[in-house]
Structure 1
Amino acid sequence: MTKKPPGSSDVSISDLVERVSLEIRRMGAHSVMMSQVIADRFGLHTTDLECLDLINMRGKTTAGELAQATGLTSGAMTALLDRLERAGYITRVHDSADRRRITIQVREEAIEPIKTVYAPIGERMGALWSSFTADELKTIAQFLERSTDLGVVCIEQIRKETASKPVSRRRPRVNRRAIT
């Protein structure tokens, strides 16, 4: 017998978990597509746009912290930050207490055009989210935070597994005779 959630007689927990899984995947796919459209508009790589957002959310960060949060290698992170710096979106600042430590910060004036594109989306999402109760929003926030934290752990695990196992980058061979 499948466990039913409290107050529900026709939907099982496993059915709801499956629904949540599918909706998270759908949201993730659409988020990637939106990022690509906006990144294209500003001549950025999608990963660059998302890392720029992470830097903006953190206020300031280091390359190492950002690499750890994203799962990118230090070399890939350096190249990404070089691109963002050349484009004028970020600055690297020497820490006044430790000159060897460099923090990365967004240049607010440079990201204003990007914020302008996201503003109407944020307003519409804010209106939607405001239709939920405070308790529902607390649950949603907890769900998203815990899911994201677990995702970061999974990224690190996959990265470690990938480093220990060489992966073939070849595409599967297509049997053209079978295609008619």
Structure 2
Amino acid sequence: MSGEESADARRRKRRLSVTVRENMRELSIQLALLNHQVGQRLDMRDVDLDCLDIISRHGPLGASALARTAGLHPATVTGILDRLEKAGWIVRERDPQDRRAVVVRASRERGAQIYELYSGMNSSMEDLLNGYDESQLEVLADFLTRAREAGVTATDDLARG
């Protein structure tokens, strides 16, 4: 490959990298807007919906574990859990490992309500993913896993100051 071809290849790769990063930011914004609409339909604050998602995915868990995972102050999490419990989204239970401690879990009964609100996006994603073969899906899965890990690292770095 000549020096000119190599420079052209580097420029194309750089442009594609910029396009990927720009689209990731746009996707992040679009998902935040979708989550905001879901939260409005459920009369729930954005941060409450985020915490409910963490509880649904990683629970049952204690309030301090939720605060650490969400990057929130424990007092803020207490208010969020109070609102979620009052609305029937979570249940507080004794921790089976330590009967003195309390854990929260998502209410199974209310989960279908949220799933229904995300059904349009889930259907669109299913249609989109059906257009890729297995090797392409492996590349996408690897990229998204590594992008998520980069996000976790960046968040942790900022949280530490």
TM-score range, shorter chain: 0.7 to 0.9
**Percent identity over the alignment?**
27
Aligned counterparts of 2:41 and 2:100: Cα–Cα separation in 1: 35
Alignment of 1:152-163 (within 5 A): 152-161=152-161
Equivalent pairs, count: 158
Q: Structure 1: give runs of 5+ residues left out of the alignment.
A: 162-180
Question: Which digits, 9 at most, give the CA deviation of each residue in 1:42-68, with x for residues without a partner?
Answer: 110011112212221224233233222
1:138 aligns with 2:131: no
Aligned counterparts of 2:27 and 2:144: Cα–Cα separation in 1: 12
* Partner residue, 1:80: 80
* Partner residue, 1:101: 101
Label 1:95 to 1:2 Cα distance change in 2 as closer, same or farther (>3 A). farther
TM-score (norm 1): 0.77
Query: What is the alpha-carbon root mean square deviation over aligned residues?
Result: 2.4
1:3 CA drift (Å): 9.8
* Partner residue, 2:114: 114
1:11 CA drift (Å): 5.6
1:37 aligns with 2:30: no
Label 1:2 to 1:92 Cα distance change in 2 as closer, same or farther (>3 A). farther
SS of structure 1 residue aligned to 2:118? helix
* Partner residue, 1:50: 50
TM-score (norm 2): 0.85
* Partner residue, 1:176: none
| Greater share of helix | 2
- Relative to structure 2, which stretch is displaced further, 128-137 or 52-61? 52-61
* Partner residue, 1:12: 12
**Conservation of the 8 A alpha-carbon contact between 1:89 and 1:110:** yes
**Conservation of the 8 A alpha-carbon contact between 1:39 and 1:49:** yes
SS of structure 1 residue aligned to 2:98? coil
